Amino acid sequence: MTFSLVGTLVGLVITVLTTVGLTGLFLLMTVESFGIPPLPSEVILPFAGFLIATGTFLFLPTLLVALAGALTGSFIAYAVGRWGRHWVTRIHLGPVRLQQRHLDRMDRWFSRHGEATVALARCVPVIRAYISYPAGTARMPPARFGGYTLLGSVPFTLTLLYAGIVLGSHWRVVERYFAPLDWIMYGVIIAGAIYLGLLYLQARRTAEATASGVSSPSEPTTSRGPGDSPP
């Protein structure tokens, strides 16, 4: 039997929703909207729709709970981005380094196109889970961020819930379309591990160079007595 990350996530979603109910849906959507660890709403919401079709969940409470979870996770990610603005330019991640001019450019973009960017991104798989971070870093006003996050989340959530209701017991047909995600996720994990390894090596070399500079002997000094004349 071949291991599948997507299959494992599907099993997790089923277990949480069937055992915890709407509270589990809220928690899953909160994590999904925060983006860490990645949970596909394209699996969470269709299965929730299937539970609506079977009468386990009611449509309106399910919709409201899903939106509340999405909004909560988005604001957590927004807060991380906003709080991290002050130190993001101070860290050096190998060849990747944000500078103040990059933040200024981001600020200008979100001041002009922030509403459309957030609303549209919330309708795009994967991207929807991470748009909150740059929005927070760009200090988009919280009320505007929340409003347009909700505006983009409503049609996305309704569509996937409805898909689960229509598919009924065949809702897992959506899983086959996410099989290629296994390779993408494996690639991201491997690339992340390699990058962290390079960062570790770079940090180690920097520490060794610093320690070597500190421990290197200083210029010898010659003490002179009262009668000694300068050379």
Amino acid symbol at 165: I
pLDDT at 228: 55
Is residue 216 in some structural domain?
no
C-alpha closest to that of 116 among 142, 147, 143, 70:
147
Evaluate whether 84 touches 137 at the Cβ level (below 8 Å): yes
Residue 171 lies in a domain: yes
Q: What is the pLDDT along the chain (231 residues), one digit of tens a residue?
A: 456 666 677 788 889 999 999 999 999 999 999 887 778 888 899 889 999 999 999 999 999 999 999 999 999 999 988 887 766 555 555 555 666 666 677 778 777 887 888 889 888 887 888 888 888 888 889 999 999 999 999 999 999 999 889 887 776 666 666 666 667 667 767 877 786 777 677 667 777 777 776 554 544 545 455 555 554
Rounded to 10 deg, the angle between the 142-167 and 41-53 helix axes is 50
Output the pLDDT for position 18.
Answer: 92
- Count how many domains the chain has: 1
- Helices 59-83 and 22-34: crossing angle in degrees, nearest 10, is 30
What is the pLDDT, as a whole number, of residue 52? Answer: 94
Query: Interhelix angle for 142-167 vs 59-83, to 10°?
Result: 140
46 part of a folded domain: yes
Is 132 a member of any domain? yes
Residue 211 maps to a domain: no
Residue 129 lies in a domain: yes
DSSP state, residue 57: S
User: pLDDT value at position 138?
Assistant: 82
Looking at residue 56, what is its pLDDT? 92
Encoding tokens for residue 33?
């909207």
In this predicted structure, what is the pLDDT of residue 149?
93
Classify residue 214: in a domain, yes or no: no
Contact of 101 with 132, CB cutoff 8 Å = no
pLDDT of residue 51: 92
Q: Is residue 215 part of a domain?
A: no
Give the domain extent around 167: 5-196
Measure the CA–CA gap between 23 and 26, rounded to whole angstroms: 5
Tokens of 186: 């494996």
